[in-house]
Amino acid sequence: MSKRFLFDGRPVVFEDGQTILQAARAAGHYIPHLCWHPDFPPHGSCKLCIVKVAGRHVSSCAMPAKEGMEVESNTPEINGERRALLQMLFVEGNHFCPSCEKSGNCQLQALAYDLEMTGERFAHFFPERPVDSSHPDVLLDFNRCIFCELCVRASRDVDGKNVFALTNRGINKHLVVNAESGRLGDTDLAADDLAANICPVGVILKKRVGFATPIGERTYDVKPIHIVAMEDGK
Amino acid sequence: MTSHEVPAVPIESIVRKHGGDPTRLLQILIDVQESIGWLPPPALTSVAAALSIPRSRVEGVAGFYHFLHKRPVGRFHLQFADNITERMQGSAELMASLCSKLWVEPGRVSEDGLVSVETTSCIGMGDQGPALLVNGMPLTRLSHQRINQIAELVRREAPLSSWPPEFFRVDDNIRRADALLSLEMAPGAALRAAVALGRDGWMEQMQISNLRGRGGAGFTTAVKWMACRDAAAPEKVVVCNADEGEPGTFKDRVLLTRMADVVFEGMTLAAWAVGACRGFVYLRGEYRYLLESLREALSLRRAENLLGRGIQGIAGFDFDIEIHLGAGAYVCGEETALLESLEGKRGTPRIRPPFPVTHGYLGRPTVVNNVETLAKTCLIALGGGEAFAATGTAQSTGTKLLSISGDCAQPGIYEYPFGVPIERVLEDCGASDIQAVQVGGAAGITLASYEFHRRIAFEDVPTAGAFMVFDSSRDLFEVARNFVDFFAHESCGFCTPCRVGTALLKKAMKKLAEGRGAKTDLADIEWIDRLLKNASHCGLGSAAPNPVVDTLLKFRPAYERRLQSLDFEPAFDLDAALAAARRASGRDDPGAHIGAEEAGQNG
Amino acid sequence: MNAPRPKVRIATTSLAGCFGCHMSFLDIDEHLFELVELVEFDRSPLTDIKHCGPCDIGLIEGGVCNAENVHVLREFRRNCKTLIAVGACAINGGLPAQRNHLDLEACLREVYVSRDGLGEGGVPNDPELPLLLDKVRPIHELVRIDYFIPGCPPSGEAIWKFLTDLIAGRTPRLSYPMMHFD
């Protein structure tokens, strides 16, 4: 008899070693996430994937599924908290969607749509985050960083280059590149590295691409993220 | 030295001294900084090259720790402890006075590079504050007179070794001793007793004792040890968590000063029980001044065959201890962040499970215990588990060390059997007219006077040992605000709720403090508190709102009387926001100003 | 029971915005005829009424970049039972807020003093001109805001949906295609 748990009241079958998020996903249930990626071990920083198990909040990307657990995910309470986490991410950086090339294909924006984040609650930080255009093929706009570390992990674990890392801490934490000059152009990042192509938001952008897809035809113009994410594993 | 000259030789020799081992990166950076004063970019490049690791990793680590400086600091770097108890003793005024005497702004370096002054989190001198660290050395009992002397010594560039030794006196201030603090033990006595019991017999005594972790969480020590013992992987590790960062706590400082041998013996007892071969003490950077004496104590133990190979003549009982320094990061007191730091990384808490007992230091089964917990194991080895369990309460056996500071006549260390009521402690330390006690530090609980009948015990008021006393003259809003600022400063920034939430909370408290508060802010504060508590990655984030939650519940008027409006107020001064444009245009007419909204108009 | 429902009174304004949201409002096309059956306009670029009186709904386009914006926003908050931030600039500062990482004084000097051809008069000091704030602020940082309609601009459809929900007494909700930040 296979093991199962209840996800928003519906039974989900799982195998030992699967996390709640993995098992729910395999059963066709979407749990919002930003730092989680199917090709990488769980990271657990964005906290969008929080769910409630036996009255306690846990990160579903990291919590192993257990027989008989009752998981609440798509509830007004949890979605309200997720919306607030998004609002935190929006005020912490400088997210100006109309001028962002990633708009329409951005996971942060798409999740905000899906979770009906129409407006803001907190005051903006308006941090100083200069852009880095020193690389011939890739632009870095730190204003939009959500610290998911996917570029860090991709560069370290897949590309074997360690181009990106985080430094400082707390609200002053920020992305740095592997060069004494601090310039991306002085690293060995190549445009086809996974790290250059994995950013879920608009920090790492290819130059000379621009607003390639017309408004109305971009990924999340067509379908919401809870459908897209289940289709292509992003 | 100008900013970018970096002597290559010291860096290479420092890296060589550490065996070229990247897990020692933090230790290497501490040593490099000790030799050149700060960590200039080329030095980070050299360290990375010498260790054959990416520079980005080195920069990541260098930026994480408050005591590592990626920008120059003064040849005299003075860090004022900024805990609320030091604030209450006038630390802010003392710091302002020193800055003005030395013509330096807080957080900046004087133009001649002579001096820099800043604040830092609690340095574990709460019983003899106000205190500061000068180039890492604690300087206690600050007064205006002492500040004058310090300013003069800095101006004359007098080397620290020539400063009056009295400045650096650190007292133990033991006010009440019980089983542990009155223990007089010959080195090896507890170990011999445990060895005589055999590994299993010794574990059984630990079980009977029902000893629970003294670091705050209160996990049963024997259960932790057994899980580590039973873990399949080899090369087990014992870690002593001496990262005593909880504001208002200083009992581990005293244990490491007076009873280091008992602590090391406790680590060896743990090694005996779980079969560990390697031990670490993770010593907070603020206690760097204890390092030499601790190393000496370790050498003596090695000489007596209490550490090393074949301890006590038992084949296969190999265990040694090394000391790693922290560098100003409270979060490293969280055991998985501590392990990351021990591995030479940023102190970011790990995902759990897996837990350290199965996957700890470098993936090896690891026991992480608090200093006091380890010291207590000696009592169990010497007197047996049953005798140990005879004191305290059924669920909280044995005694607890309290670090008492704040408004009382005799601050210091008090050892009580668990179950002691708060009011008894207050009486003993000479506290009167008390409105609140903060038990367990910033992450702990704020008790109002109607709760002073409650007892120190895991099942009632749990604590890692901090006990800060506030009399009726104190403003509990300022207390909570100090703790909020502390958490914002110490957040590692890994997860969204803590990174942004602690910063938002800090802003909200500042807004109230500046008289710009509105009723909506209290609702926002409670909402942020909830997100921190529910969604944070580790205990730092989930405990960060505690002081606000408690004081909003028990001392709400301290917040309400700061409200400017019952509805909404901007967080910033609107008229001040026009100042730049007034300057540029040279205008000062009435239209060049914005007043507050008139009363009765819902702004 | 069948007495005609009193019309809902609406005021609109554009602060530091481009009037794009107002243009989008006009894009509701033939719904305009339905709208005028339901509402009447107080202060708005559509009426040229200069000051806002008591209203049911206020629609604010644009962020707050100068002293006049502050006064207008406060006037709206005082008079409108329900205040709605319309569009990216009102919600997060939008395009005008892109100046927030520049020092305002340096900016003014660069434009009015240092640059050839504009340097003769210096920074304008006419009291008629509203003074600039050091930073452009979203409107929710100055007054309490009840609802937000995102978009740059929000579509006419989204504005129409929002208003008709509100007038009908339903909590306004945008369907997925109406939710966009650009």
% residues pLDDT > 90 (chain B): 95
Q: Tokens for B243? A: 């990262």
Chain B neighbors of C71, CB-CB under 8 A: 594
Tell me what the pLDDT averaged over chain B comes to: 96
> Does A138 lie in the same domain as A26?
no
List pLDDT tens digits, range B484-493: 999 999 999 9
The DSSP string of B374-395 is HHHHHHHHHH-HHHHHTSB-SS
Chain C neighbors of A126, CB-CB under 8 A: 93, 97, 100-101, 135
Peptide bond into C153 cis (omega under 30): yes
Average pLDDT over every residue of B587-603: 72
**Residue of A33, A36, A46, A47 to mutate for B, most B C-beta atoms under 10 A:** A47
A87 is a domain residue: no
| Residue C141 touches partner B, C-beta closer than 8 Å | yes
Distance of CA B207 to the CA centre of its chain: 29
**Closest Cβ opposite residue C141 in set B571, B584, B592:** B571
> Does A67 lie in the same domain as A168?
no
- Going by C-alpha positions, the residue among A202, A196, A192 that lies closest to residue A177 is A196
| Closest residue in chain A to residue B40, using alpha carbons only | A180
**Residue of C133, C136, C137, C146 to mutate for B, most B C-beta atoms under 10 A:** C133
CATH class of B8-64: mainly alpha
Helix B371-383 × helix B251-258 angle, to 10°? 50
Helices marked H in B120-250 = 144-155, 189-209, 221-230
Average pLDDT over every residue of C152-164: 96
C124 is a domain residue: no
Parse chain B into domains and list their residue ranges.
Answer: 8-64, 76-171, 176-389, 477-565, 575-603
> Does A16 lie in the same domain as A113?
no
> Does A208 lie in the same domain as A145?
yes
Q: Exposure of B64 by Cβ count < 10 A (0-12 exposed, 13-18 middle, 19+ buried)?
A: buried
Three-state SS string over B84-105 comes to HHHHHCCHHHHHHHHHHHHCCC
C106 is a domain residue: no
**Closest Cβ opposite residue B520 in set C78, C132, C144:** C144
> Does A202 lie in the same domain as A110?
yes
Q: Are B534 and B526 in contact (CB under 8 A)?
A: no
C151 is a domain residue: yes
Strand, helix or coil at B220? strand
Average pLDDT over every residue of B158-175: 98
C75 is a domain residue: yes
% residues pLDDT > 70 (chain B): 97
**Closest Cβ opposite residue A92 in set B54, B500, B524:** B500
Contact across the interface for B491 and A42, Cβ inside 8 Å: no
Average pLDDT over every residue of A47-64: 97
Alpha-carbon dihedral sign for residues B583, B584, B589, B594 = negative
Instruction: Give the β-pairing of B115-120 and B76-81.
Output: parallel
Alpha-carbon dihedral sign for residues C96, A222, C22, C55 = negative
**Residue of C165, C166, C180 to mutate for A, most A C-beta atoms under 10 A:** C180
Confidence band for B600, pLDDT divided at 50, 70 and 90: very low
Residue A171, min C-alpha distance to chain C (Å): 17
The torsion angles phi and psi of C13, rounded to 5 degrees, stand at: -155, 160
Chain A neighbors of B351, CB-CB under 8 A: 42, 44, 59, 62
Instruction: Name A232's Cβ contacts closer than 8 Å, sequence gap at least 6.
Output: none
Question: Could you identify the residue written with the tokens 């301290």?
Answer: B558
Instruction: Name B137's Cβ contacts closer than 8 Å, sequence gap at least 6.
Output: B160, B168, B289
Question: Could you identify the residue written with the tokens 């962020």?
Answer: C63
Confidence band for A215, pLDDT divided at 50, 70 and 90: very high
Residue B72: the pLDDT is 96
β strands within B207-319, DSSP E? 236-242, 276-283
**Closest Cβ opposite residue C182 in set A90, A97, A224:** A97
| Residue A180 touches partner B, C-beta closer than 8 Å | yes
| Closest residue in chain B to residue C139, using alpha carbons only | B570
Domain tally for chain C? 1
CATH class of B176-389: alpha beta
CA distances from A118 to A106, C88, C180 (A): 16, 10, 9
**Residue of A89, A102, A124 to mutate for C, most C C-beta atoms under 10 A:** A124
Residue C112: the pLDDT is 86
A189 is a domain residue: yes
Contact across the interface for B578 and C123, Cβ inside 8 Å: no
List pLDDT tens digits, range B493-549: 999 999 999 999 999 999 999 999 999 999 999 999 999 999 999 999 999 999 999
Collect all residues from B whose CB is shorter than 8 A from any CB in C: 520, 567-568, 570-572, 574, 577-587, 589, 591-594, 597, 601-603
Question: Could you identify the residue written with the tokens 């579903």?
Answer: A60
Chain C neighbors of B594, CB-CB under 8 A: 67, 70-71
* Host domain of residue A184: 97-230
Strand partners, B414: B176, B402
Contact across the interface for B591 and C74, Cβ inside 8 Å: no
Strand, helix or coil at B271? helix
Which one-letter amino acid corresponds to residue C62? Answer: G
**Closest Cβ opposite residue C134 in set B577, B587, B603:** B577
Contact across the interface for B584 and C108, Cβ inside 8 Å: yes
| Residue C125 touches partner B, C-beta closer than 8 Å | yes
Residue B601: the pLDDT is 43
Helices (H) and strands (E) in chain C, counts: 6, 7
A90 is a domain residue: no
| Residue A1 touches partner B, C-beta closer than 8 Å | no
| Residue A20 touches partner B, C-beta closer than 8 Å | no
This complex has an ipTM of 0.97
Strand, helix or coil at A19? strand
A86 is a domain residue: no
Confidence band for C114, pLDDT divided at 50, 70 and 90: confident
| Residue C127 touches partner B, C-beta closer than 8 Å | yes
From A49-53, B366-370, C97-101, the region with the lowest mean pLDDT: C97-101
| Closest residue in chain B to residue A176, using alpha carbons only | B56
A101 is a domain residue: yes
A80 is a domain residue: no
In angstroms, the CA B128 to CA B140 distance is 6
Question: Could you identify the residue written with the tokens 């339905």?
Answer: C34
Q: Tokens for C54? A: 């008591």
Which one-letter amino acid corresponds to residue B249? Answer: T
Three-state SS string over B484-526 comes to HHHHHHHCCCCCHHHHHHHHHHHHHHHHHHCCCEEHHHHHHHH
Interface partners of chain B (CB pairs < 8 Å, 3 or more) are A, C
% residues pLDDT > 90 (chain C): 85
Instruction: Give the β-pairing of A50-53 and A70-72.
Output: antiparallel
List pLDDT tens digits, range C38-89: 999 999 998 989 999 999 999 999 999 999 999 999 999 999 999 999 999 9
Instruction: Name B505's Cβ contacts closer than 8 Å, sequence gap at least 6.
Output: B484, B487, B488, B525, B528, B529, B532, B544, B545, B548
In angstroms, the CA B439 to CA B121 distance is 17
b/e A140-161 (16+ beta carbons within 10 angstroms → b): bbbbbbbbbbbbbbbbbeebeb
Q: Say yes or no to pLDDT of B165 above 60.
A: yes
C158 is a domain residue: yes
CATH code: domain B76-171 is: 3.40.30.10
| Residue C131 touches partner B, C-beta closer than 8 Å | yes
Q: Say yes or no to pLDDT of B143 above 70.
A: yes
Q: Chain A 113-172, CB below 8 Å of chain B: which residues?
A: 121-123, 125, 146-147, 156, 162-172
> Of A14, A40, A74, which residue sits at a domain end?
A74
Three-state SS string over B436-473 comes to EEEECCCCCEEEEHHHCCCEECCCCECCCCEEEEEECC
Contact across the interface for C131 and B601, Cβ inside 8 Å: no
Instruction: Report the CATH number that the domain containing residue A20 is assigned in CATH.
Output: 3.10.20.740
Chain B neighbors of C78, CB-CB under 8 A: 601-603
Q: Say yes or no to pLDDT of C152 above 60.
A: yes
Confidence band for B602, pLDDT divided at 50, 70 and 90: very low
**Closest Cβ opposite residue B585 in set C74, C123, C144:** C123
Average pLDDT over every residue of A134-151: 98
Q: What does DSSP assign to residue C172?
A: P
Q: Tokens for B239? A: 């870690």
From B196-200, B412-416, B563-567, C76-80, the region with the lowest mean pLDDT: B563-567
- Going by C-alpha positions, the residue among B381, B360, B219 that lies closest to residue B280 is B360
In angstroms, the CA C93 to CA B40 distance is 38
**Closest Cβ opposite residue A57 in set B527, B535, B571:** B535
Q: What is the dihedral of CA C52, C57, C63, C64, to 10 degrees?
A: 40
- Going by C-alpha positions, the residue among B306, B263, B307 that lies closest to residue B287 is B263
Question: Could you identify the residue written with the tokens 């519906």?
Answer: A10
A82 is a domain residue: no
In angstroms, the CA A126 to CA A129 distance is 9
**Closest Cβ opposite residue A42 in set B56, B64, B351:** B351
Residue B599: the pLDDT is 42
Residues constituting chain A: 234
Contact across the interface for B581 and C143, Cβ inside 8 Å: no
Average pLDDT over every residue of A109-127: 96
CATH 3.40.50.300 fits B477-565, yes or no: no
- Going by C-alpha positions, the residue among B514, B526, B511, B516 that lies closest to residue B556 is B526
Residue B1: the pLDDT is 41
In angstroms, the CA B415 to CA B177 distance is 5
Q: Are A85 and A63 in contact (CB under 8 A)?
A: no
The DSSP string of C78-145 is HHEEEEEEESHHHHH-TGGGGGGGS-HHHHHHIIIIISTTTTTS-S---TTSPPEEEEEE-GGGTS--
> Does A177 lie in the same domain as A105?
yes
Instruction: Report the CATH number that the domain containing residue C26 is assigned in CATH.
Output: 3.40.50.700
CA distances from C53 to A4, C12, C50, C72, C77 (A): 61, 12, 10, 12, 11
Chain B neighbors of C131, CB-CB under 8 A: 578, 581-582, 585, 587, 591-592
From A217-221, B271-275, B568-572, the region with the lowest mean pLDDT: B568-572
| Closest residue in chain C to residue B601, using alpha carbons only | C78
* Host domain of residue C54: 8-101+132-178
Domain tally for chain A? 2
CA distances from A208 to A95, A143, A204, A217 (A): 21, 20, 13, 19
List pLDDT tens digits, range A144-177: 999 999 999 999 999 999 999 999 999 999 999 9
% residues pLDDT > 90 (chain A): 97
Average pLDDT over every residue of B330-356: 97
Question: Could you identify the residue written with the tokens 């003093």?
Answer: C113
In angstroms, the CA B524 to CA B542 distance is 17
For chain A, what is the radius of gyration of the CA atoms?
Answer: 18
Q: Tokens for B73? A: 């600091």
| Residue B345 touches partner A, C-beta closer than 8 Å | no
A66 is a domain residue: yes
**Residue of A90, A97, A118 to mutate for C, most C C-beta atoms under 10 A:** A118
Residue B287, min C-alpha distance to chain A (Å): 22
Q: Say yes or no to pLDDT of B603 above 60.
A: no
Instruction: Report the CATH number that the domain containing residue A149 is assigned in CATH.
Output: 3.30.70.20
Q: What does DSSP assign to residue B421?
A: B
Instruction: Give the β-pairing of C80-86 and C147-149.
Output: parallel
Average pLDDT over every residue of B294-304: 98
| Residue A190 touches partner B, C-beta closer than 8 Å | no
Question: Could you identify the residue written with the tokens 């908290």?
Answer: A81
| Closest residue in chain A to residue C137, using alpha carbons only | A124
pTM of the model: 0.96
Residue C92, min C-alpha distance to chain A (Å): 8
